[in-house]
Amino acid sequence: MKHHSGLFRLAAMAALLLIATMLIPNQSHARLPKQLKFKPIEFKTPKVDTLKFSNGLHGYLIEDHEIPVINITIVFRSAYPPEDKVGLPSVAGWAIRNGGSKNYPKSEIDDQLEFVGASIESSADPRTGRISANFLTKDMDLVLDILADLLVNPAFDPDKIELRKKTLIEQIRRKADDPNALGRREFSKLIYRGHPAGREPTEETISNITREDVIAYHNNYVRPNNAVIGVAGDISKDEIIAKLNKVFAEWLPGGVKPEFPEMKYELNPSVNYIYKDVNQGYIFAGHMSMNSSNPDRPIATIMNYILGGGSFTSWITQRIRSDEGLAYHAGSSYYASPWGYGIFRATCQTRSDAAMRALELLIEQIERMKNEGPTEQEVEDAKQALVNRQVFEYESPARLVSRLIWYDIAGLPLDTLEKDFEAYQEATVEDVKRVARKYLHPEALTILVVGDESKFDRPLSDFGKVTTIEIEKETKEVEVK
């Protein structure tokens, strides 16, 4: 019996080995990931309905009935506040949701939304503000009623406004203690040089903001004729129009049209320094980029991906971090703005005794991109990465609707996403080289280094005449009005 049992086990093991051998692929035919061929990426744009309401509000709807959830986002155009009240949009935008409303005190809003698992959030910056809601379809009437009351009848509880101001002041103090945050703030000021786009709130400007300023902000900008709405989820076009016309019946058009000061394209080559008692150097180098409507914008995105935006595959990261082992972080961004011009910024964070070497390498890579440009393979790899990333914009109806709102508010064509996709696919290495030659200016960089120059490996003045930026200690007590 034992003999037969042993034979059975041996036979079973032999059978398993035979099956395993059959399942293992022939190694001679194995291919590397780069050798694999895939079908071209295809996607289908969801159907988008346009929405128009009796109070002047307009927007977009993507129906999605897979799950009983609805997302609503309303974005309104804002404007730069007075110079002595920078930070007003941040206070007012937050207070719309968190200051309660006529019929719903904040505590009651929190309780009711938590009970049904819904959320409403609001915020604003100097260009746009938004309020958004996420909820189950069955709770639509409750959430829409609260949302409408916040928009039409905000209470702007004085205690909540003061709380927000104190929170922002504390954030400003912490930012002054963070060399990277401090550098990004001051670099933006250097690029825009006096234009409101470069302004940052201070303790004083926040303390100057009053409840009356917040109310005026709401009356001026939080208006249906100054807003765009996006809806995605389990609801039909006819139903959402009927629901919102009802709850927004008292949300009336009016206010003022936001105006943005003209921004001139300027290069401001300079070398700047901020002392900070740290053992690292925080390096920033760049200049103004382009307007969002520029047809070369998608090509500039490819260029920047290769230069510093593609993480470990980018030139800046490979040269400074991988090859030289100098940086904790190194990379670049090329942001285009619809309200003038954006910023091209190359950055690096490294130890102090290698800071100037890192800056030299950073500039070297920008010059290389302008003068030599990438290889055909580098462009193809960047294109594939960006095309793959673009597909995810179509994955979520809520995400796609948010895109449409942004294009509308920014004055861009609604098919910008599709046009970008086509531009990525059709771009050539010569296109990227042309854009690099035209839009990169390594000879006219604005440079800022934050750190302790006594620890640098060579003088910062080797890169040009240095302007020292004195940062006032932002921990003084400021009376909150």
Cβ-based burial of 275 (10 A; exposed 0-12, middle 13-18, buried ≥19): middle
323 is written with which tokens? 């090859």
- CB burial of 348-377 (b: ≥16 within 10 Å; e: otherwise) equals bbbbbebbbbbbebbbebbebbbeebbeee
Q: What is the pLDDT along the chain (481 residues), one digit of tens a residue?
A: 444 444 344 444 444 444 444 444 554 444 554 455 545 555 556 789 999 998 999 999 999 999 999 999 999 999 999 999 999 999 999 999 999 999 999 999 999 999 999 999 999 999 999 999 999 999 999 999 999 999 999 999 999 999 999 999 999 998 888 999 999 999 999 999 989 999 999 999 999 999 999 999 999 999 999 999 999 999 999 999 999 999 999 999 999 999 899 999 999 999 999 999 999 999 999 999 999 999 999 999 999 999 999 878 899 999 998 888 888 889 999 999 999 999 999 999 999 999 999 999 999 999 999 999 999 999 999 999 999 887 777 778 999 999 999 999 999 999 999 999 999 999 999 999 999 999 999 999 999 999 999 999 999 999 999 999 998 654 444 444 4
pLDDT of residue 476: 43
pLDDT of residue 212: 98
- Residues 307 and 369: their CA atoms lie apart, in Å, by 7
Q: How many residues does the chain have?
A: 481
The DSSP secondary-structure symbol of 309 reads: I
Answer yes or no: CATH 3.30.365.10 is held by domain 270-468.
Answer: no
- Residues 342 and 288: their CA atoms lie apart, in Å, by 6
- Residues 384 and 399: their CA atoms lie apart, in Å, by 21
- Residues 149 and 82: their CA atoms lie apart, in Å, by 28
- Residues 170 and 276: their CA atoms lie apart, in Å, by 20
pLDDT of residue 36: 52
Question: Are the folds of 49-247 and 270-468 the same?
Answer: yes
| Fold (CATH) for 49-247 | Cytochrome Bc1 Complex; Chain A, domain 1 (3.30.830)
pLDDT of residue 322: 85
The DSSP secondary-structure symbol of 35 reads: G
- Residues 385 and 313: their CA atoms lie apart, in Å, by 11
137 is written with which tokens? 């379809």
Domain layout of the chain by residue ranges: 49-247, 270-468
